[in-house]
Amino acid sequence: MEQQSPPASSSTTVTSTTPLLPQNHPWWHRHFHMNNSLSSELSGAVGDLGTFIPIVLTLTLVSHLDLSTTLIFTALYNITTGLLFHIPMPVQPMKSIAAVAVSETPHLTTSQIATAGASTAAVLFFLGATGLMSTLYRLLPLPVVRGIQLSQGLSFAFSAIKYIRYNQDFVASKATTPRAWLGLDGLVVALSSLLFLVIFTGSGDHYDRNGSDDDQPRRRNSKRLRILGSIPAALIVFLLGLVLCFIRDPSIFGDIKFGPSKIGFLSITWNDWKVGFLKGAVPQIPLSVLNSVIAVCKLSGDLFPDRELSAAKVSVSVGVMNLVGCWFGAMPVCHGAGGLAGQYRFGARSGWSVVYLGIGKLIIGLVFGNSFVRILNQFPIGILGVLLLFAGIELAMASRDMNSKEESFVMLVCAAVSLTGSSAALGFVCGILLFLLLKLRKMEYSGSNPGFSKFKFDSTVDAETSSIP
């Protein structure tokens, strides 16, 4: 009779961590499952409104943009890109086109704004569909990309400080008088919102989940930070701003008209195409390539290493959105690195964040229509400045990985030229030239034959400079 083997002792027992059944989730679970809390996703959803609201409000008041149509189309863009890219992919106005539209005399018409957006979209769609955008993304030096991100982030931060300190005339695109301390849009409200966000979101870092059981101070601190992080701070601040809109001007209740505006094709002439392309698309194209595609893809890899975006897909996405919506008068939009940084900063970690934002925009566009501009016109600008400040700082901090003095030198020169010249394209060109010049400086000349010579890089120095993989 066969003897049974004795049971293994406790000292030799091996605990297996392999599950009995394979954990192969279906594709829909991997792509659409939300690991983050609902409150964090909702809070992150409003992280890019510090740039969205001022530009939309300005174009609505100055260029008679159809707010209802813009809200409905951007809502559909948000929902679609959130489900396709699986990260909080922002949908933001094309800033250069918006700036030209309100600064030109006379102001650009809705049709000219639409042709500017469609022309820009056609170029980006071509670059993405042909693979040229992916090639450009691989070849661009990392310090130059970081310089563009740094300049854009600091530009947002500078604008945010102006929003907080001064009253704004968006129609004239300038600051007016210093903001009063008291009042429903005073410095006290703005600074209180800033303090509230700092307390509940900190510097944007995650709390430490790895504290040991015997480390009581760390466990208490982790629990406290987890409680603070579970509160949707940015959403609360935004909702406060909406409440203050009605308190500042109770006549809003009587001006609200329910229902969306009628959506139809724009009437576009050849002159609209000429003005839109020359005045709007030409300055917007380099900005869209650099900030809406290159910088967004690089930032996505920094924030979500397992979900880095494809430059070709992002470029095609910008093209498709505008080639569809601009014909109906929707505002030209793109994917901005600042918006992604802002949404991540306030808790967004998946595409569901922008899906929720899209649902909110869709409801507002269908229910309130163009009358929602009365509400936006009373939104406290100081609160918008606070939201924009956090988004700008988060984007600028992406440049902190420059490890050598040479990389930092290229990045800072690129950022400085972009800021002072008010042109990302100019900063990009200067950054590329400086990068190549420094490379050329490190080339070593060698040749044993009079008729033969070659250049080679000093590998010990060249290793310091990195580029996008």
Query: Crossing angle of helices 132-139/110-129, nearest 10°?
Result: 80
* pLDDT number for residue 444: 63
How sure is the predictor about 173, in pLDDT bands with cuts at 50, 70 and 90? Answer: confident
Check residue 309 and give its pLDDT. 95
The answer, yes or no, to whether the previous bond of 6 is cis (omega within 30 of 0) is no
Q: Once rounded to an integer, what is the mean pLDDT over residues 215-239?
A: 79
- Range of weakest confidence among 199-203, 210-214, 312-316: 210-214
Q: How far apart are CA 350 and CA 337, in angstroms?
A: 16
Average pLDDT, integer, range 292-309: 94
3-state SS class at 466: coil
Contacts of 76 (CB under 8 A, 6+ apart): 358, 362
| Predicted pLDDT at 217 | 66
Integer Cα distance of 322 and 281 in angstroms: 12
Residues facing residue 334 across a β-bridge: 92
Q: How many whole angstroms separate alpha carbon 431 and alpha carbon 417?
A: 9
Q: What's residue 34's pLDDT?
A: 62
**Where do the H-state alpha helices sit in 24-130?**
27-32, 38-45, 49-62, 67-85, 95-103, 110-129
Average pLDDT over residues 149-163: 94
Examine the pLDDT at 403 and tell me if it is beyond 60: yes
Of 330 and 106, more confident: 330
Alpha carbons 297 and 336: distance in angstroms, whole number? 10
What does the block give as tokens for 93? Answer: 């106005």
Distance separating alpha carbons of residues 310 and 297, to the nearest angstrom: 7
Calculate what percentage of the chain has a pLDDT beyond 90: 72
Distance CA 464, CA 256 (A): 60
Which pLDDT score is estimated for 203? 82
- Between the two ends of the chain, the Cα-to-Cα distance in Å is 66
> What average pLDDT score do residues 184-206 get?
90
Average pLDDT over the chain reads: 86
**Across residues 305-328, what is the average pLDDT?**
96
Could you tell me the pTM of the whole model?
0.84
pLDDT of residue 14: 44
Q: Which tokens sit at 306?
A: 């397992």
Residues 425-450: what's their mean pLDDT?
Answer: 82
Whole-number Å distance between alpha carbons of 348 and 247: 30
> What pLDDT shows up at residue 26?
52
233-285 pLDDT, tens digit per residue, is 999 999 999 999 999 999 999 989 999 999 999 999 999 999 999 999 999 99
Which of 40, 68, 147 shows the shortest CA–CA distance to 325? Answer: 68
pLDDT at 408 over 90: yes
Q: Which pLDDT band, with edges at 50, 70 and 90, does 49 fall under?
A: very high
pLDDT digits (tens, 9 = 90+) for 376-387: 999 999 999 999
Determine contact, residues 229/36, Cβ cutoff 8 Å: no
Render pLDDT for 121-138 as a digit per residue (tens, 0 to 9).
999 999 999 999 999 999
More confident residue, 18 or 240: 240
Q: φ and ψ at 423, to 5 degrees?
A: -150, 115
> Over 80: is that where the pLDDT of 13 sits?
no
Residue 44, pLDDT score? 94
Res 120: pLDDT = 97
- For residue 25, pLDDT over 60 is answered with no
Residue 341's pLDDT band, with cuts at 50, 70 and 90, is very high
d(CA 92, CA 114): 15
CA distance 354 to 341: 13
**Predicted local confidence at residue 9, as pLDDT:** 45
Helices 311-325 and 110-129: angle between axes, nearest 10 degrees: 150
Backbone angles phi, psi at 303, to 5 degrees: -85, -35
* 10 CB-near residues (< 8 Å, 6+ apart): none
Percent of the chain's residues with pLDDT above 70 = 83
List, as one string, the DSSP characters of 372-422. Answer: HHHHHTTS-HHHHHHHHHHHHHHHHGGGGG--SHHHHHHHHHHHHHHHHTT
Q: Which residues have a Cβ under 8 Å from the Cβ of 30 and sit 6 or more positions away?
A: none
What confidence score (pLDDT) does residue 411 get? 96
